Structure 1
Amino acid sequence: MAESTPPKPPAPAAVRIRAAAALPAGSPGASTGTTIRLNKRMAELGLCSRREADDWIARGWVRVNGAPAVMGQPVALDARIEVDRQAEQQQRQQVTILINKPVGYVSGQAEDGHEPAVVLVQPQNRWSECNSRMRWGHEQLRGLAPAGRLDIDSIGLLVLTQDGRVARQLIGEDSNIEKEYLVRVSYGAETMNVQATFPREKLALPCHGLSLDGQALRPAQVSWQNPEQLRFVLTEGKKRQIRRMCEQVGLFVTGLKRVRIGRVNLGHLPVGQWRYLAPHESF
């Protein structure tokens, strides 16, 4: 009897589909011996977050110069980093949610008896005008975290995301994404026409010239929206920054609403409701 042909080994379930392009010769860091931790390099390249990179490495979804990656591996800046198709499929399922946070909710972990804004992310609170085809599922709450803070007594646009790339873009050390706020203020006993009584020259100080916690603040855009309300545009987000900036020039904040992050506007999203970030939107 003729011997049967042994079955062929199954084809790999995943195919490497993305790679970091090698740096051209002569570029800073190319072929100079400079190395960086693999997870940090992957984050710099915009492939994923550092934590996500570690997960992919542990799952065997990353190769460096053709060899399987190991945790904590140092890599040259011109190393070829390949990522498995399964990683992209996992990443595609991650959601980013926009919520109009009400007063009384904290951005992150529950504290002092106040609930985090994420508890509002339930099917009944989804905005009726959200046109995303994404279907709600409890797995979308896993790892869903705020990308930036909004004070408990403030309302407006808060971003919650499972995607480390979005978080890095909005709150990474090198982030310069604009955040726009409408800020209702009072000045002394004046609450109705603050613009008329507040010294004009003092408004230049929040734009450039204030410090918090011993550090100079980045330049800001500050202008009157109406006689009782200022418009702030910041590219950083220190704790209670706007309230503390106003206090330094003698203003008291009576209401604060974030209306824009980068190119994404709060729009008509009702307080306490949420929607998915649409595929065509980006910060």
Structure 2
Amino acid sequence: MTEQLRLSKRMSELGLCSRREADEWIAKGWVRVDGKVVSELGTKIFPDQKVTVERQAAAEQSKRVTILINKPVGYVSGQAEDGYLPAVALIKAENRWSECKVDNQFHPTQLRSLVPAGRLDIDSVGLLVLTQDGRVAKKLIGENTDVEKEYLVRVEYTKSGKLPEGDLRLLNHGLSLDGKKLIPAKVRWMNEDQLQFILKEGKKRQIRRMCEMVGLKVIGLKRVRIGKVRLGNLPEGQWRYLRDDEPF
């Protein structure tokens, strides 16, 4: 017999919303299972039961924003720490990119529940995604994500001569971090001191640690793409809204 699972988990699996959003909608009576309103948190259902949501849920979800920022050095991705400001502190009307194409007026309520979907460490710059939409967060940092992240990495070889070809192959596949083998990456030289990294995972300080293992010191690291969304000409320290026609 098919096992039951929590309604909120099933809604997340169906791509309707995040689990947290699901719990909010259930509590408000906005969710139906086989046509009947379900308002009790923790309710379990069978996978073949039909789940629908009321129009109010879709309307509320459509107001949720996703913001792209070109994070400068010295800002942390998430909560403020060690006296450093979080990147969300840069999200204010005066820092909005003048070329932002979304007809959306900035309002401080858009900062509520605005969380980073992925991290960039304090010494790194480039594309950072902050979102109120649980579906976007799941797509970018969920367990089964396969979204590519592209980085330009300026490096210095700490040994004599040049990085051996075998070590470049190791950066592509063969290294382990924290006792686990890394998913294959795409790493190639862009010029004599800059590498392009394309990853499908994001362990803490992953690129810096990978480079250290083959004798490379990272001088600068910039994320330029997440999925199909590029940093482009977005100036450092400025932000814009994600457009409806920009799927990751």
The TM-score bracket by the shorter chain reads: over 0.9
Paired position in structure 1 for 2:45 = 75
2:13 counterpart of 1:48: no
Counterpart of 1:174 (choices 135, 138, 144) is 144
Q: TM-score, normalised by structure 1?
A: 0.86
Deviations 1:114-169 (A, max 9, x none): 00000000000000111110111111001100000000000000000000000000
Write the mapping of 1:89-100 to structure 2, written as runs, cut at 5 A.
89-100=59-70
2:77 counterpart of 1:107: yes
Deviations 1:201-240 (A, max 9, x none): 2100011101100011100000001111000000000000
Q: Distance in 2 between matches of 1:101 and 1:170?
A: 18
- Secondary structure of the structure 2 residue equivalent to 1:270: coil
Paired position in structure 1 for 2:5 = 36
Write the mapping of 1:172-251 to structure 2, written as runs, cut at 5 A.
172-188=142-158, 197-251=162-216
2:98 counterpart of 1:133: no
Q: Distance in 1 between matches of 2:113 and 2:37?
A: 27
Q: Distance in 2 between matches of 1:45 and 1:159?
A: 23
2:24 counterpart of 1:59: no
Q: Distance in 1 between matches of 2:45 and 2:164?
A: 56
Paired position in structure 2 for 1:6 = none
- Secondary structure of the structure 2 residue equivalent to 1:260: strand
For residue 236 of structure 1, what is the amino acid of its counterpart? E
Q: Does the aligned pair in 1 maintain the 2:155–2:218 contact within 8 Å?
A: yes
List runs of 5+ in structure 2 lacking aligned partners: none
C-alpha displacement at 1:112, in angstroms? 0.3
Q: Which moved more, 1:67-76 or 1:271-280?
A: 67-76
Deviations 1:25-69 (A, max 9, x none): xxxxxxx33211111110111100000000000001001112222
- Secondary structure of the structure 2 residue equivalent to 1:197: coil
For residue 28 of structure 2, what is the amino acid of its counterpart? R
Name which structure has the greater RCO, CA cutoff 8 Å, separation 6+.
2
2:121 counterpart of 1:151: yes
Q: TM-score, normalised by structure 2?
A: 0.98
For residue 252 of structure 1, what is the amino acid of its counterpart? K
Q: Distance in 2 between matches of 1:204 and 1:35?
A: 45
Q: Distance in 2 between matches of 1:184 and 1:156?
A: 14
Q: Distance in 1 between matches of 2:6 and 2:184?
A: 33
List runs of 5+ in structure 1 lacking aligned partners: 1-31, 191-195
Q: Which runs of 4+ in 1 moved over 2 A?
A: none
Paired position in structure 2 for 1:252 = 217
Q: Does the aligned pair in 1 maintain the 2:159–2:215 contact within 8 Å?
A: no
Q: Distance in 2 between matches of 1:205 and 1:141?
A: 41
Paired position in structure 2 for 1:272 = 237
C-alpha displacement at 1:189, in angstroms? 6.7
Deviations 1:78-125 (A, max 9, x none): 111110100000000000000000000000000000000000000000
Q: Which moved more, 1:60-69 or 1:179-188?
A: 60-69
Q: Distance in 1 between matches of 2:51 and 2:158?
A: 59
Q: Distance in 1 between matches of 2:76 and 2:42?
A: 34
Q: Distance in 2 between matches of 1:108 and 1:228?
A: 30
For residue 136 of structure 2, what is the amino acid of its counterpart? V
Q: Percent identity?
A: 63
For residue 228 of structure 1, what is the amino acid of its counterpart? D
